[in-house]
Structure 1
C-alpha cells in the first residue's frame, strides 16, 4: 500500500526541518537539542534556549567579567552608626557609606542606581559577560556594603572593569548633566589602573554623549571628566574603574530623565556600549 502525506503536513515538516537545520548550521546549535517530536510551542522554546546559550558563549563580551556597583543602599539612612564608621579608603579612612541624594520629588539615588544597574546587568549578560553586582537588593532594612568592599569587589574575581552608578545632588542653579569620575595616579593604590581607567572614562563619556545625555555644566573643564583621589571605590580597585554621576537629581530636566523607565533604559544602553567599546 502506498501512503500519501497530505501536502500541508509535508510542507510543515519541511519548513521546520529547514529552519532548524539553518539555525543549527549558522549558530552551531545541534539539531539534537531540538525535540522534533514535541509540539510546536515546546520546539520553539527549546530552540530559543539553545540560541540563548550559544549567544552567551559567543557574544562579544564572552569570557569577560564586569562589576556593576549600584551606589548606596535604600536603607542606609536607617543605620547611621553602621554607615558612619570609618573604613579603609586607599591610604586613609572615610565613612563606610552615605545615604545618597534624591530628586526634589523624593525619588532616591539608591533606587535610581539600582534600577539602572539591573538593566545594565541584563544588557551585559546578553553580550556574553559575567556580571557581579556589589549589592543584591534595594531595601529599607538593608545597608551598605561599605566603600572598601565596593572598591575591592572585582579584585579576587579578576574583573575586566567596574562601573559605579550614581546620581548627583548639586543645588547650584541650572546645574545639570552627567560626568564620569576616574582615579588619579596615587602610588601604590591606583598607579596600575589610572591610565586604563581614563580610557574607560573616555569610552563611557562618548557613549553617553552619543545617547544624547548632556555633559555636566558644573564640573571644572566642562568636558564631562573628573579625576579624584579621595574615593575608595576607585582607589581600592585592581581593574579599570569609573564612577558615573548620570545626572543632577536636583535639576528638573535631569530628574525627568532619571525617573522615567525610558531614560533609565537609555543610561543602561549607553553604559553597556561604553564597556563594550572599551573592551574591544
Structure 2
C-alpha cells in the first residue's frame, strides 16, 4: 500500500510569513501522523514576479523552521509543456474558448447591465463573473481575431463542461484537528467561465495545480481556507481530464493585526524579519497556535 503524499506549494514572489509557516508546519505534522511523505513545490508560473532570490528565501525559511521535504523540488516553470498539453485536450473537446473582452470592456458591459436594473452575479471572491459573450462567436471569427493578434485568454465553458458530467461533483474535506472527513458538494458554476490560460502563458493556477497534484501523486492537499471555494473548479478539471481527486483540508488563516489575511508585503510578519529579530522556530509555532 502506497504512503499518503502531502505537499507545500509556495510562490516565490515575496517572503514567507506566519501564514505560510502555519501551512508548512501543519502539512508536516499531518504527513508524519499519517506515515506519509511531504513534497515541496515551487509555484512560479508568474515568471514576471517570481525570482530566484525569493525561491532561495523559501528554502532558508523552511529549513530554519525544521521542515523536511523530499528532493528534487518540482518547479512549475519547468513544466509549461505539460500544462499546454492538458489545455490542448480541453480545446479539442471544445470545452474552452478564446475570450477577447478586456477587463475594461467586461467592467463596462457589467456596469451597463446593472444600470439597466440587472443584478450581475459575483463569484465566491466577490468579483463579477465574466460575461461570456465570446462563447457565441463562430469558429471563423475566432480564428480571424487570433490571426489579427487580438489579446485573449482561454476560458473554461463551465456550463458546457458540467453538462457533460455523468453525476454531481464533490470532494472529501478533512479536519486538520480530528482527521475526520465530510463530503462537500462542488459548485463550479458559481465561478463562471474561469481563465485556464492566456495567450502568452499556456496555463493558470487552476490548470497547473491539478496537473501538478496528479503528476506528483498527491493524495492530501492541505492549504488555506481562502482556496476552499476554488476546489470546485479543481474538481471539475480533474473530472474533465481524468485526473485523480485528492482529499482536501482547508485550514484556518493566520490574520494580521487588522483582522485581514496576511500579505507578503507585511514585513513585520515575514519569517526572515522575525528570525533576524531573534525569534526561534519554537516561538513561531506558538505564534501560529501549534
TM-score by length of 1: 0.28
Query: Does 1 or 2 have the higher relative contact order (CA < 8 Å, sep 6+)?
Result: 2
Q: Of the two, which has the highest radius of gyration?
A: 1
TM-score by length of 2: 0.27
